[in-house]
Chains A and B, each alone.
Chain A
């Protein structure tokens, strides 16, 4: 019995196959585990350890380095408000304070209904529409308290379900082409190509 559901487990194997070394699939696999549970459970991390040939301590240590991975359960919507320099100059701190009031939780906390987790983020690279808000890592282009409250209402009503999938779902597009070929095969191909090139260079030189 694996902790990952079978289709995710299969996807995990596919992801691993893309890389020259298993461990390289660490971040994609953690995203995948989070897609299933919304956060990284100990069981999920143990399974990622097994899949990547690492230890559970290494997986946990790696996951805990990155802000996007949650080691504790979070709300269905993770709301990030940026207060970094450009947003600061555009009122990011005030918007964050407002968000806390609307959601009824402090930064890092989850709203009483369990739907929303509020985060203060670093620059989200969309500074021309500041202050920047992301929900589940989708830009919602919500810059004022009024727009923010309307957004929360839309999310509550499920009106944004397509644009804002549940937390943890990062890439909905599955890779379709070109699974990795073996090194030896490529090396042979390259040698052939080089020979062809040299031959062509030789004829052009004449």
Chain B
């Protein structure tokens, strides 16, 4: 049974049909946190976030407070919100921007105040047409309400927020590619070093990039204090987190639950959450944190949903999306489809990712659709090794960004866990499930 007594931090309004409107937001305590923050010193606000140990919700799980403290002090700096959400089976930010855009906007203003940034950008995935309209509406309303613009709520703090639409490219979720897109260019990730946009980011100026969900937590943290947030969860994984559950479960959806206190099994099987597997079949594999993450087998279902807990077992909680495969699912097909995704979304600038992803996809396609050879299985592993040498976790890389080194995750996991399924595809000259 899942532990569901933690407060709802980012989904408290989600049950209202008009949760996205300013009036509902104000009725439910909206913009109070901002008013409160404006009475504090910016450093005090940042200190609360630091105390909360708020880990970034975009994928890498880097503590927001630490990232903020790296922002090089400079007369010009920017805050950029990452709402590109394109990691397959991740749909929590989509939920937040459509259901509670004001919460996001308030979070952004609070962060900007803490960072003393006067220009923020909310980069939203272009395919979120409704989300874009809602967030733009919320920004417009915030201006009218005095929560944005010059001298917010009469304070000496001013801020402009620009809502920037993406245009359909997964790689723009990678923060440096996102910055390139914001500069009006192709989303080519920047080569590192520098490792953090906080050193050189948008227009070469220091820039903090944070995820939509990360921002949405801020009003609550300001109102209740960092310590209250840190009291939830355990270890480094504090607070609650949105998990997007999809695949062969009865009741897929976005669930806000306390970190570490619950396990994968709780999330998948609790009737108030995932509700178990369709037709009560058995779990074959789960992808614990977006398709960039190595898969787990059913033996790890009782692992707690915590950043380090999952990391220690060779995968990641990543973007908070959990995909469940059951015994009817074909792992070769899944690995092929995921690789096809990476191949289509590779930006194309560096060789191993551009050429490797396409080559791997074509081999997997042959295996799945007939024409596979026994030696293809080891070829898959060797080519993967040329992209992520050693096939270790976290991966090493021959590529510029981690999209490349994420490609082998599912291939390596699928072959390690289900090598025989691959051979079966060769013998059967195609997918035995078809």
Contact = CB atoms under 8 A, between A and B. Distances in A.
Interface of A: 18-28, 30-31, 52, 54, 61-62, 65-69, 80, 83-86, 88-89, 121-128, 130, 134, 136-139, 170-178, 180-181, 183, 186-187, 189-190, 192-193, 196-197, 200-201
Nearest to B127: A137
A67 B157 contact: no
A138 B248 contact: no
A181 B150 contact: yes
Given A23-B183, A123-B87, A136 B166 contact: no
A124 to B, nearest CB: 6
Interface of B: 41-42, 75-76, 85-91, 93-94, 116, 118-119, 125-130, 132-133, 136-137, 139-140, 142-144, 148-150, 156-158, 160-170, 181-187, 203, 244-248, 252-254, 287, 291, 321, 323, 325, 329, 333-334, 337-338, 341, 344-345, 347
A22 B203 CA distance: 12
Nearest to A62: B186
Nearest to A126: B91
A85 B91 contact: no
26 contacts: A18-B160, A24-B184, A69-B167, A85-B89, A85-B246, A85-B337, A89-B247, A89-B325, A122-B170, A122-B341, A123-B88, A125-B125, A126-B94, A127-B246, A127-B321, A128-B246, A136-B129, A170-B132, A173-B137, A175-B136, A177-B140, A177-B142, A181-B158, A186-B118, A189-B150, A196-B156
B94 A86 contact: no
Nearest to A136: B129
Nearest to A172: B133
B337 to A, nearest CB: 5
A89 B248 CA distance: 7
A176 B148 CA distance: 12
B344 A122 contact: yes
Contacts of B167: 27, 30-31, 66-69
A18 B162 contact: yes
B119 A139 contact: no
B323 A89 contact: yes
Given A31-B165, A89-B323, A181 B127 contact: no
A128 B253 contact: yes
Interface of B is mostly: mixed
B407 to A, nearest CB: 14
Contact of A127 (B142, B150, B185, B244): B244
Given A175-B140, A181-B160, A24 B183 contact: yes
Nearest to A191: B75
Nearest to B134: A173
A171 B129 contact: yes
B246 A130 contact: yes
A174 B321 CA distance: 33
Given A28-B165, A68-B167, A84 B149 contact: no
B183 A21 contact: yes
Contacts of B186: 61-62, 65
Which of A21, A26, A125, A180 has the largest number of chain B CB atoms within 10 A?
Answer: A125
Nearest to A165: B129
Contacts of B247: 85-86, 89
B88 A20 contact: no
A106 to B, nearest CB: 17
A25 B162 CA distance: 11
Nearest to A129: B252
Contact of A175 (B85, B163, B254, B325): B163
A66 B139 CA distance: 26
B165 A125 contact: no
Contacts of A170: 126, 129, 132, 165
Which are the 8 A-B pairs with shortest beta-carbon distances? A177-B143, A26-B184, A67-B168, A66-B167, A23-B184, A193-B156, A68-B168, A123-B88
